[in-house]
Amino acid sequence: MSSGLLDFFTLEASEYVEHLDGLVARSRGGVPDLEGCVRHARALRGSATMAKVSGIADVAAALERLAHALQAGALQWNDAVRGAYVAAVDDLKILIRGVRAWGDAESRRAAARAQELAAFAPAASATGASAPSAFAFLAGETTELARALAAFAENPVAPSAFALTLQRLRALRGIALLKDVPPLPEIVDALDAAAKTFELGGAVTPAFRALFAAAAAVLADASAALTRGDRPATESHALTAFAAAASGLGGSAAAADDIVPISALFPDDGAPGLVSATTTPPTTAAQRFRLEVASHAEHLRRLVADAGMAVDSATRERLARELGGAARALSRLSASFGETDLATFFEGQRAQAALLAGAALDALDSACKMLSAPHGKSTADIALALQGAAPPSHQAPPTPRPSFRAMPAVPAPVPPAAAIPRDVVDIASLAPDGQPSLVEHAASAAAASGDALSSMLERGIVGLSGLEEAPLAEPAEIAADVTVPIEDMVYRGRDALDRAIELRDLMRQSAGAPDPALLAELFDLLELAATSD
């Protein structure tokens, strides 16, 4: 356990024990304030549970059961009960002072005191509540927080005076059960986010006070449900009011700064500025865009997943705001990199995403999945896919192993052109009777234009039909493909070494880590260089 946590626990637990001691002292032998006894004993139990001091937590739980039994009338306040109560409070003071050196003696003392209290109020029948102990703890904490928040909304205090309440609020986030009890996680997160601005010196605006008052009402309802052993309601007037208050507080936040091109910061007079583009940037604009957009895309996908599981109105209200903002942020980011198609897509889906429309959420999730893939499609392909068009297919580059020569394509042998006597074919005879020949077409085409040119071309194309009956030359036979031995295409010996030197120089000129494909080819070339021609 960290020293800071122990320091905080010692201060907090000592305060709770002093309250318990004061309640008995002020009663002057009579029945103390049982509601206060329950409240401070429960708070001590929760603090000890968070600090993992189980012995003190057991004694505090026994005191809480004792107070519940007195409230229910199952136990009467008398000298024996008062003696056990006072002895437990005195032992708690000793145990808290010795928490840093906790050992077997402290464990035995705590166990004996808890057992003595259990004789008056056994754990199985102390409260008669059906809720598990974790729910009972949440019920007590939400009750205390609801009171503190309502008091703050009515009469705001300085951050230092409100620090203890905020610490207890944030301590709830460490309880694993909290996420299974909606809408409590949403309430705690919203209050924590709002309190940060207050702690940093922000003004306590009417919207801020309205949020705390609405949260107090929701927490009070949740505490009552947990005390009965029920789940808090996910739809209620209090939750609707809280969602409206959270929306009003979030709407007052300043809008995000516009993205301004750096070129707009300098006069457009052609003179050199303070910043100039490098001739060999380490990454391209497309690569920088994929790096920037990945985190935004993953964040939006998480919001989409959360929206599918939201069951209460407060959570849906918050996710609706965040989804609209995340879609707008992706639209602005895409536009700043010149990805106008993606920017248009995200901006078009923003309004529907803010309404938690299923089709818009599915489209956003699909787009963000493609954008966050480390080696996925290009942005152009993604934009086409989002528009419903099939992106062009791209084949993976061939594996560079083994390394082949960059050999020119072997042309098929062409037979020598036969000399065609002029009297073999009369070009003029290719035109149908009464139609001008192709030569006449060519001679007059240069002077024709518009409709005359179009008509001339149509008549000239008709004249080409004569080539089927009287071709200009006899068809030549094309030889079969020439077979090239694989050995002639592979680098060997000195050629392989020269090629390896070329790759080495190429990798030296490139920035960043060498391409794995080039490295693989270089290693293969070194092996081939050891082979003689």
Q: What is the DSSP string of 297-335?
A: HHHHHHHHHHHHH--SHHHHHHHHHHHHHHHHHHHHHHH
Q: Return the pLDDT at 143.
A: 87
Examine the domain organization and report whether 206 and 294 are in the same domain.
Answer: no
Q: Is 517 helix (H, G, I), strand (E, B) or coil?
A: helix
Examine the domain organization and report whether 103 and 147 are in the same domain.
Answer: no
Q: How many whole angstroms separate alpha carbon 494 and alpha carbon 496?
A: 5
Question: 46, 137 in Cβ contact below 8 A?
Answer: yes
Pair of tokens at residue 177: 């059960």
Q: Is residue 513 in some structural domain?
A: yes
Examine the domain organization and report whether 220 and 326 are in the same domain.
Answer: no
Examine the domain organization and report whether 139 and 110 are in the same domain.
Answer: no
pLDDT at 403 over 50: no
Q: Is residue 413 in some structural domain?
A: no
What does the pLDDT average to over 248-272? 60
Closest to 158 (Cα-Cα) out of 122, 203, 120: 203
The top-scoring range by mean pLDDT among 189-198, 408-417, 509-518 is 189-198
pLDDT at 136 over 80: no
Examine the domain organization and report whether 15 and 96 are in the same domain.
Answer: yes
Q: How many whole angstroms separate alpha carbon 77 and alpha carbon 86?
A: 13
Q: Return the pLDDT at 482.
A: 52
Q: How many whole angstroms separate alpha carbon 39 and alpha carbon 41?
A: 6
Looking at residue 348, its amino acid is G
What does the pLDDT average to over 286-315? 80
What does the pLDDT average to over 100-104? 86
Examine the domain organization and report whether 105 and 209 are in the same domain.
Answer: no
Q: Return the pLDDT at 88.
A: 92
Q: How many whole angstroms separate alpha carbon 232 and alpha carbon 226?
A: 7
Q: Which domain holds residue 518?
A: 486-529
Owner of token pair 């248009």 = 344
Does the global pTM surpass 0.95?
no
Quick one: pLDDT band at residue 192, thresholds 50, 70, 90? confident
Examine the domain organization and report whether 522 and 500 are in the same domain.
Answer: yes
> Residue 135: how many CB atoms within 10 A of its CB?
20
State the number of CA atoms in the 13 A half-sphere of 207 facing the CB: 17
Q: Is residue 404 in some structural domain?
A: no
pLDDT at 417 over 70: no
Q: Is residue 415 in some structural domain?
A: no
- Looking at the chain, the whole-number percentage of residues with pLDDT higher than 70 is 69
**Looking at the 3D structure of the chain, how many domains does it have?**
5
What CATH number does residue 92 fall under?
Answer: 1.20.120
**In 3-state terms, the chain is what percent helix, strand and coil (to 5)?**
65, 0, 35
The top-scoring range by mean pLDDT among 105-109, 316-320, 395-399, 432-436 is 105-109
Examine the domain organization and report whether 114 and 61 are in the same domain.
Answer: yes
Q: Is residue 264 in some structural domain?
A: no
**Sign of CA pseudo-dihedral 249, 252, 254, 256:** positive
What does the pLDDT average to over 130-136? 57
Question: 142, 184 in Cβ contact below 8 A?
Answer: yes
Q: Is residue 260 in some structural domain?
A: no
Span 453-507, pLDDT tens digits: 566 666 655 555 665 666 666 666 655 555 556 555 566 777 778 778 887 877 7
Q: For residues 336 and 473, which has the higher predicted lDDT (pLDDT)?
A: 336
Closest to 240 (Cα-Cα) out of 317, 306, 149, 352: 317
Span 149-165, pLDDT tens digits: 999 989 988 888 888 88
- Write down the mean pLDDT value for the chain: 74
Q: Is residue 149 in some structural domain?
A: yes
Q: Is 181 helix (H, G, I), strand (E, B) or coil?
A: coil
pLDDT at 444 over 60: no
Q: Is residue 172 in some structural domain?
A: yes
Q: How many whole angstroms separate alpha carbon 63 and alpha carbon 87?
A: 11
Three-state SS string over 251-291 comes to HCCCCCCCCCCHHHHCCCCCCCCCCCCCCCCCCCHHHHHHH
b/e map of 61-71 (b: 16 or more CB within 10 Å)? bbbbbbbbbbe
Question: 247, 321 in Cβ contact below 8 A?
Answer: yes
Q: Tell which of 386, 414, 449 closes a domain.
A: 386
Q: How many whole angstroms separate alpha carbon 44 and alpha carbon 55?
A: 12
Q: For residues 334 and 283, which has the higher predicted lDDT (pLDDT)?
A: 334
Q: Tell which of 94, 120, 146 closes a domain.
A: 120
Question: Is residue 97 within a helix (H) or strand (E), and if so which, with residue range?
Answer: helix 79-97
Q: For residues 278 and 76, which has the higher predicted lDDT (pLDDT)?
A: 76
Examine the domain organization and report whether 295 and 334 are in the same domain.
Answer: yes
Examine the domain organization and report whether 109 and 7 are in the same domain.
Answer: yes
Examine the domain organization and report whether 100 and 141 are in the same domain.
Answer: no
Q: Tell which of 98, 120, 142 closes a domain.
A: 120
Looking at residue 317, its amino acid is E
Q: Return the pLDDT at 125.
A: 39
Question: 333, 293 in Cβ contact below 8 A?
Answer: yes
What does the pLDDT average to over 381-407? 51
Examine the domain organization and report whether 20 and 112 are in the same domain.
Answer: yes
